[in-house]
Structure 1
Amino acid sequence: MNIEAAVAAQQPLVQRLLDGVAEIGRDPPGITRDAYGRGENQAQALIAGAGRALGLTASTDAGANLSLRWEGSDPSAKPILIGSHLDSVVQGGNFDGAAGVIAGIGAVAALQAAGLRPRAAIEVLALRCEEAVWFGLGLIGSRCMLARLPEGALDLPHARGGKTLAESIAACGGDPAPLRAGTPLRDPAAIGAYLELHIEQAPQLVEAGAPVAVCLANPGNLRHPFIRITGADAHTGLPHRFRRDAALAGADLALELERMWLEEEATGRPMAVTIGRFHTPAGHHSLTMVSGSFELSLDLRAYEAAHLAALEARLAEIVARVAARRGVTIELGARSAAAPGPMDPAITAGLAAAAVRCGLDAPRLNSPGSHDANNFAASGVPTGMLLVRNHNGSHNPDEAMETADLMAAIRVLAEWIAAEG
């Protein structure tokens, strides 16, 4: 059986797994698979069962990441890792992350059906807690694996139930001790490559009319999940010159950040600003009160480390300016960061060539999202990504990846492994 026919034969398996993780996460109107909780655990169990049915060896590491390993023909060859995540945001969509894990299973099944055994071992990874919603820090599974957890991360509380990250990891069979010691769970130098498949998060492929793209780079990000602005509560009739209005300071800050974004993009420096939380305190705000308190979150992202550093410097200037103008204090609070993820040129070229062999015109595009691939690339692992067409963005119940498009991406992945693995 050739690779094209072997991949096509895996569509029932792929669809069954997509439907299975959807059922596990069902939370109308969307999908919720909580990290280090029932949703992620049950999804891991489903994927592990599919891997074992293919003869893959299942194991978990100290971060409770799942690995499904298919031994290659050459024990000395460095393994090829194919990974993504199974957790979701709250009431998000079914495909963000999960499609990439399932693609790894589909590619291995297709290669087996075609009678092809790669020289290098293939490992399908289900990495824990990629979404920052659960601990205010994202990419946790790959951070654990590569010793990239920031100081204090293991003491962060889970958004549901309040267990610390360390307690959550231990409850899922992991071991926080080597993570506290900063010990890599995998030696990056001993990994041959890391491949990730992910739905697109802006409709670039919808626009291009193509099912698959070869990713060039993922942005890094700088995040402040709990920015606090403090002014003074006051009567609504207070004249403007006496006010220390935290809500208007928040509005000023948001508008200045957008102005910065537009200025940067006008000079050809792509980036993004996202304010996910933006509110006066619900337990205290009132129609008849000038609010002396305001909270927001901030995500800045860009494709180069130097650009991110420059944006952070501009953020500090904007904060100081708004605070002085409004007579408030602005505390940025906890900070987390993820390094940009440039893809390996040789892998990018190899994936593009595999797409051509599949008869696909695969554009080369930047991804607007940060992914676990960022941590592998930043650790020196040769890294590549494929993006799959998706009509309605991600992190919402309307994610609309077609299974046929996922199968096209799996074929490109299988072709690449057959040629390079």
Structure 2
Amino acid sequence: MTNFQTLASPYAERFLNQIREESRDGRGVSRQGYGPHEQYVHDLVISEAKRLNMEIEIDPAGNLWITRPGKNRSLPGIVSGSHGDSVPEGGNYDGLAGVCAAMTVADMLDRLNVQLERDYTVLVTRMEESSWFGRAYVGSLALTGNLKPEEVQLRHRISDRTLFDTIKDAGFDPVAMTSGKPLKELSNIAAFIELHIEQGPTLENNPTHRIAAVTGIRGNLRHKICRVIGETAHSGAVNREFRHDAVLALADLLSRMDKHWKEWLDAGEDLVFTCGVVNTAKTAAIAIIPGEVTFGLDMRSLSMDTLYRFHNLMLAECDEIAKERGVRFEFDNVLVCEASGVDPQVRGRIEKAAADHSLNALSIPSGAGHDAAVLSNAGVPVGMIFVANQNGSHNWREAMKLEDFIQGAELLWHTVCDYDNK
């Protein structure tokens, strides 16, 4: 281990373990956006900021900004961080690894008495995960002036409670968040650098390169609630030609889209397609032909053109299936997160820091979306660092080896410290 890794590892391990224990939920952790366990992450960071004599600011969306002043405060600052929430019964590191890395750098700046040329800020965003209310990147969208009023009217996954009321009860301002105006002057950010677990298998399967500089971030089109409306009937009394089976219509759609997906991949398009939620009606039974099924869709690509074309193809298939099977497809408003390229100069600084300090780092794209993509699309120069993790993500089995994480934290450290080197 390098000197940085030896000195920094105990702090990082304590930080990660403390939050895991506080938010443990059965086999995994649950930190709902604008809920008490997400707030615990923010409170812990605030406590650390006070210990480190950092400046503390909370914007109207509840995003937390803590700053170590630089020598020249007229310069735009370097910002690093991520989100503190999680999916239900998820892993501890999705988002939190980036918060921990940014805090580890802040702690080391204090311990080694390093004053940077410009301000260094840790940013902890709110509600990056869509699992609770169906809208991802709530804090960063509000920050950049891109959260829509109708999006805070979305309802909780297992209750009738709106996101608007949840935000308000947490002490923040959903009206200001949806005003269309940025909550901070984004030109004051020279670079936003987000460390994140990879959430895929590339780094985990590489024995020598356990960290990476990210080359781009996929955008996504999502439908939270879609329906196929058919006709409920007796399973034994209605022959096939008279049926309007909602489940078979959905199965038909998914089968067709899966075939199209493979064809598009074979043609060189970047695309992933997921139907992650399927539910029949509350009255469904084994002896009833299903007359209604609800489902959710998630499509992602580095190209928004690819996404819109694939979405249009899906709608055309729905029209065809509706005619063939005598059913009706209904879709809620599509939720859009734009694909994002990372800033070439910020990426170059990350890659140079890795080379200069003998840290083995790959260059790979991000399949998942991140707050960094939202900030990038708002004009902020962004870069990302990936760290290997085991067992994927968005599940309780998610894992991350400390020795991998601390390599990523060291890469962040050198990128930050070397930022203004000539």
TM range (shorter): over 0.9
The 5 A counterparts of 1:338-353 are: 338-353=337-352
Distance in 1, Cα, partners of 2:152 & 2:230: 33
Distance in 2, Cα, partners of 1:104 & 1:180: 28
Amino acid at match of 1:320: D
- 5+ long unaligned stretches in structure 1: none
Distance in 1, Cα, partners of 2:286 & 2:235: 8
Q: Offset at 1:160?
A: 5.3
In the other structure, the counterpart of 1:279 is 279
Bigger mean CA deviation after superposition, 151-160 or 63-72: 151-160
In the other structure, the counterpart of 1:215 is 214
C-alpha distance after superposition, 1:198-223 (max 9, x if no partner): 10111100122222011111100000
The 5 A counterparts of 1:7-156 are: 7-156=5-154
In the other structure, the counterpart of 1:356 is 355
Q: Secondary structure at the match of 1:205?
A: coil
Bigger mean CA deviation after superposition, 297-306 or 107-116: 107-116
Residues 301, 307 of structure 2: 8 Å contact kept:
yes
RMSD: 1.5
Change (3 A) 1:344 1:246: same
- The answer to whether residue 367 in structure 2 is matched with residue 368 in structure 1 is yes
Distance in 2, Cα, partners of 1:293 & 1:412: 51
Distance in 1, Cα, partners of 2:179 & 2:219: 25
Q: Secondary structure at the match of 2:81?
A: strand
Q: Secondary structure at the match of 2:361?
A: coil
In the other structure, the counterpart of 2:330 is 331
Distance in 2, Cα, partners of 1:124 & 1:299: 30
Distance in 2, Cα, partners of 1:136 & 1:291: 25
Distance in 2, Cα, partners of 1:19 & 1:69: 24
In the other structure, the counterpart of 1:174 is 172
Distance in 1, Cα, partners of 2:373 & 2:265: 22
Distance in 1, Cα, partners of 2:13 & 2:40: 17
Distance in 2, Cα, partners of 1:286 & 1:61: 49
C-alpha distance after superposition, 1:102-153 (max 9, x if no partner): 1000012223333322122111111110110111100111001001113401
Q: Offset at 1:246?
A: 0.1
Identity of aligned residues (%): 31
Residues 216, 365 of structure 2: 8 Å contact kept:
yes
- The answer to whether residue 411 in structure 2 is matched with residue 412 in structure 1 is yes
Amino acid at match of 1:204: T
Change (3 A) 1:85 1:29: same
Q: Offset at 1:360?
A: 2.0
The 5 A counterparts of 1:288-307 are: 288-307=287-306
Q: Equivalent of 2:197, from 196, 199, 203?
A: 199
Amino acid at match of 2:279: H
Q: Offset at 1:409?
A: 0.5
- The answer to whether residue 267 in structure 2 is matched with residue 267 in structure 1 is yes
Q: Offset at 1:321?
A: 1.8
- The answer to whether residue 246 in structure 2 is matched with residue 246 in structure 1 is yes
Q: Offset at 1:45?
A: 0.9
Q: Secondary structure at the match of 1:286?
A: coil
Residues 33, 87 of structure 1: 8 Å contact kept:
yes
C-alpha distance after superposition, 1:16-61 (max 9, x if no partner): 1100110121011111111111111112111221222222122211
Residues 7, 110 of structure 1: 8 Å contact kept:
no
Amino acid at match of 2:109: L
Distance in 2, Cα, partners of 1:39 & 1:162: 21
C-alpha distance after superposition, 1:373-402 (max 9, x if no partner): 110110111110000000110011111101
Residues 273, 299 of structure 1: 8 Å contact kept:
yes
Change (3 A) 1:397 1:16: same
Amino acid at match of 2:87: V
Distance in 1, Cα, partners of 2:164 & 2:292: 32
> Could you state the TM-score of these two structures normalised by the residue count of structure 1?
0.96
Alignment size in residue pairs: 418
Distance in 2, Cα, partners of 1:162 & 1:371: 27
Amino acid at match of 1:250: L
Q: Secondary structure at the match of 2:56?
A: strand
Residues 84, 125 of structure 2: 8 Å contact kept:
yes
Amino acid at match of 1:108: A
Structure 1 stretches of 4+ with a deviation exceeding 4 A read: none
